[in-house]
Amino acid sequence: MKKLGRGLGAILEDVEAGYLKSIPQKGIKDIEIEKIKPNPFQPRKTFNDESIKELAASIEKHGLMQPVIVIENEGEYILVAGERRLRAVKSLGKESIKAIISDISLKDLREYALIENIQREDLNAVEIAYSLKSLIDEFGFTHEELAKNIGKSRTYISNMLRLLNLPKSVQDKLSQNKISYGHAKVLLGLEENEINKAVERIEKENLNVRETEKYIKTLKKKDKKTEDKEEFNKEILEIAFKFKKLGLKVEIGKDYLKMKFKNETDLKKLKEFMDKIN
């Protein structure tokens, strides 16, 4: 997948700037909106209705400043970039839209769609993570190559991909803005039951990221104490229980059993108990 490399970076810069000079194209023309099919490889799953309304208002007032990009396919057109613009223009009741007819192949469409969308700020973190994973799995990018192509750091790539280790239910909450990217990062590395407890607490008490970090530290301490108790030898626990039934004060550790004698009566009870064992 080295073929796009530097050229793709230039294309994306032109798309973002609105010049579109580097796009391999057959020309620009008005196309009937009904003839434009959505990009089947579109990684963005959710669109903000309010944002599209604002864009539509801007287009109504100033016109479409940047054409959408399409490719021809069997007498119809497939959208490459500009779905928000297309939706906004359609919402205005217009029948056609200005479009650049790109000369890229259907084979390259998925790759363009993934990278074009990663550049957009309104793609949520989970959608970005899945887009990054697709580029790595399907097109052979290393983390370093991918970081260079999309203008991000290698750490950014790694951190985003780690979000996919979260349970699907938590990914959904992140996509729906019920928890933030900051919340998600502090949940990474926890066991699934701990993650679910933390998310429940975040939603119930509206915890911010710092408060969530504090809660997780408390949660880990509780789990450690529970784990330590479970590690005690069952036979030691049984012996300790018998000593306690005699009224003796017993302290239990992982590898020790400690008894304290208040008086001679306690010592006598212990001797009687030992005699029964013998």
pLDDT digits (tens, 9 = 90+) for 47-61: 778 888 998 999 988
> Of the candidates 82, 84, 52, 56, which has an alpha carbon nearest to the alpha carbon of residue 69?
82
Among 7-16, 58-67, 241-250, name the most confident range.
58-67
Give the tokens for residue 178. 């019920």
% of residues, the chain, pLDDT over 90 = 17
Widest pairwise Cα distance in the chain? 103
Give the span between the Cα atoms of 124 and 88, in whole angstroms: 20
Confidence of residue 122 (pLDDT cuts 50, 70, 90): low
Question: What are the residues whose beta carbons fall under 8 Å from the beta carbon of 178, sequence distance 6 or more?
Answer: 203
The reported pLDDT for the residue numbered 274 is 72
pLDDT above 60 for 168: yes
pLDDT above 50 for 1: no
The pTM assigned to this predicted structure is: 0.51
Confidence of residue 233 (pLDDT cuts 50, 70, 90): low
The pLDDT mean for the chain works out to 77
Confidence of residue 5 (pLDDT cuts 50, 70, 90): very low
User: Higher model confidence: residue 111 or residue 14?
Assistant: 111
pLDDT above 70 for 164: yes
Instruction: Identify the residue whose tokens are 């899945």.
Output: 130
Strand stretches in 49-187, DSSP E: 68-73, 76-81, 96-102
Instruction: Identify the residue whose tokens are 């700020």.
Output: 121
Helix (H) or strand (E) holding 27: strand 25-32
Torsion of Cα atoms, 118 then 22 then 6 then 85, to 10°: 0
Residue 101 Cα to chain centre, angstroms = 34
The reported pLDDT for the residue numbered 119 is 65
